[in-house]
């Protein structure tokens, strides 16, 4: 019944909006070569790296993602904002658009009317079952991008999540006839993405800020950090309220296996009890976790516990500028929280 209701909403509410938006702005995607990238994890990094490669190659390309568009609180914007942005850039002479695409956006027809020149899926792992209900539905939504794309781009997968992203971006660039030498040079000069495995403090221990908020991303992030850490890994994370609850114990299990110390805390609990969310995460491992619902206090403790050679990793909030408690968005800045913790510990 829930799925039928969502299907009706998509068909009779979201689709008409998408059709109207395309008509209103004159189908701007027809003037651009649009590259769509979707996947459970890695899509933001792939989009940003691809955009960097294209700029270095002389393309007049735009990038639309949750990080690149100020004030955008969803990865894949709604049809009116999306078509408006595409129209603005098309009118300014841009020729290519790199678009980060989500399963919600695909399911809700936000991208309807866009003729994707190239489409790529980074991966499909557990996420968003609060909305899609089953993994099969989630996978089906992701695959829609390939059906909407003239060319389906394949790439060489890798267990190294950074290498995999580079392979994916390079595969698309090669389809656009960018030579390999230019691609390799651009990869070397890529500054990275804000809040994506971002090293914000180096000595005597390291502190990373990363957006990992799903099982696959958390696992890959911790595996990567293990290869870069001589001492202990101290992980700080939570799980969003009113979202996929089945991933919570999975993330707890991953942290129990791969982190030496785990501090569970708040991450947009919304109208759920933050302590209940933390309890559900902790249920995924027999390992004892430190529980500190206040996120600033959790980060303070992580920094206090860190010794030379250790790594502190703050997951889940990254670039976001607010945290939701109840129905209110309160100001939050992960970078400032880390700076405050360092100051308290006299660093």
Report DSSP letters for 214-252, one per residue.
SHHHHHHHHHHHHHH-SS-EEEEE---TTS-STHHHHHH
**Domain of 73: which CATH number?**
3.40.1190.10
> Which tens digit of pLDDT belongs to each residue from 277-299?
999 999 999 999 999 999 999 99
Same domain as 251, residue 150: no
pTM: 0.88
Same domain as 236, residue 176: no
> Considering only 30-34, 155-159, 244-248, which range has the smallest mean pLDDT?
155-159
> Which tens digit of pLDDT belongs to each residue from 217-258?
999 999 999 999 999 999 999 999 999 999 999 999 999 999
* Helix 180-189 and helix 43-56, axial crossing angle in degrees, nearest 10: 120
Quote the percentage of the chain above a pLDDT of 90.
84
Q: Which of 189, 223, 239 is the last residue of a domain?
A: 189
Same domain as 141, residue 7: yes
Same domain as 275, residue 182: no
Same domain as 205, residue 175: no
Banded model confidence at residue 3, pLDDT cuts 50, 70, 90: confident
- pLDDT for position 74: 61
Same domain as 164, residue 42: yes
Same domain as 325, residue 205: yes
Residue 136, classed as helix, strand or coil, is: helix
**Is residue 73 predicted with pLDDT exceeding 70?**
no
Same domain as 111, residue 25: yes
Q: Where are the beta strands (DSSP E) in the chain?
A: 33-38, 61-64, 96-100, 116-121, 149-152, 198-201, 206-210, 233-237, 261-264, 290-291, 311-315, 322-325, 328-331
Rounded to the nearest integer, the mean pLDDT of the chain is: 94
Same domain as 311, residue 225: yes
Domain that holds residue 243: 198-344
**Is residue 5 predicted with pLDDT exceeding 90?**
no
Q: Which of 189, 223, 251 is the last residue of a domain?
A: 189
> Which tens digit of pLDDT belongs to each residue from 84-133?
999 999 999 999 999 999 999 999 999 999 999 999 999 998 788 788 88
Same domain as 302, residue 337: yes
> Which tens digit of pLDDT belongs to each residue from 44-55?
999 999 999 999
Same domain as 297, residue 318: yes
**Is residue 19 predicted with pLDDT exceeding 90?**
yes
Q: Which of 189, 209, 232 is the last residue of a domain?
A: 189
Task: Count Cβ atoms below 10 Å from residue 325 Cβ, excluding itself.
Answer: 16
**Domain of 226: which CATH number?**
3.90.190.20
Same domain as 247, residue 301: yes
**Is residue 190 predicted with pLDDT exceeding 80?**
yes
Quote the percentage of the chain above a pLDDT of 70.
97
- The number of distinct structural domains making up the chain is 2
| Burial of residue 108 (number of CB atoms within 10 Å: 0-12, 13-18, 19+) | buried
**Is residue 338 predicted with pLDDT exceeding 70?**
yes
């Amino acid at each position: 019944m829930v799925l039928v209701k969502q299907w009706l909403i998509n068909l009779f509410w979201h689709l008409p909006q998408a059709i109207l938006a395309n008509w209103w702005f004159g189908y701007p995607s027809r003037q651009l070569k649009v590259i769509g990238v979707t996947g459970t994890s890695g899509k933001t990094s792939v989009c940003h790296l691809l955009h960097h490669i294209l700029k270095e190659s002389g393309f007049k390309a735009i990038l639309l993602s949750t990080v690149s568009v100020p004030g955008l609180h969803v990865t894949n914007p709604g049809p009116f904002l999306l078509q408006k942005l595409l129209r603005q850039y098309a009118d300014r002479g841009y020729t290519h658009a790199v678009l980060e695409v989500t399963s919600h956006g695909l399911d809700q027809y936000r991208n309807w009317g866009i003729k994707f020149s190239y489409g790529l899926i980074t991966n499909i792992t557990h996420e968003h079952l609060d909305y899609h209900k089953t993994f099969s539905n989630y996978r089906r939504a992701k695959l829609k991008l390939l059906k909407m794309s003239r060319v389906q781009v394949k790439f060489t997968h890798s267990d190294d999540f950074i290498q995999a992203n580079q392979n994916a971006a390079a595969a698309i660039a090669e389809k656009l006839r960018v030579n390999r030498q230019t691609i390799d040079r651009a990869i070397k000069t890529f500054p990275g993405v804000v809040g994506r495995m971002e090293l914000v403090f180096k000595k005597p221990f390291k502190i990373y800020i990363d957006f990992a908020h799903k099982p696959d991303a958390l696992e890959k992030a911790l595996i990567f950090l293990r290869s870069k850490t001589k001492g202990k890994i101290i992980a700080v994370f939570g799980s969003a309220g009113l979202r996929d609850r089945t991933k919570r114990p999975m993330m707890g299990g991953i942290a129990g296996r791969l982190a030496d110390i785990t501090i569970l805390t708040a991450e947009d609990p919304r109208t759920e009890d933050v302590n209940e969310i933390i309890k559900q995460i902790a249920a995924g491992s027999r390992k004892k976790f430190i529980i500190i619902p206040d996120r600033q206090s959790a980060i303070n403790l992580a920094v206090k516990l860190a010794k030379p050679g250790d790594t502190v990793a703050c997951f889940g909030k990254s670039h976001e500028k607010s945290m939701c408690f109840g129905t209110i968005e309160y100001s939050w800045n992960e970078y400032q929280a880390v700076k405050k913790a360092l100051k308290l510990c006299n660093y």
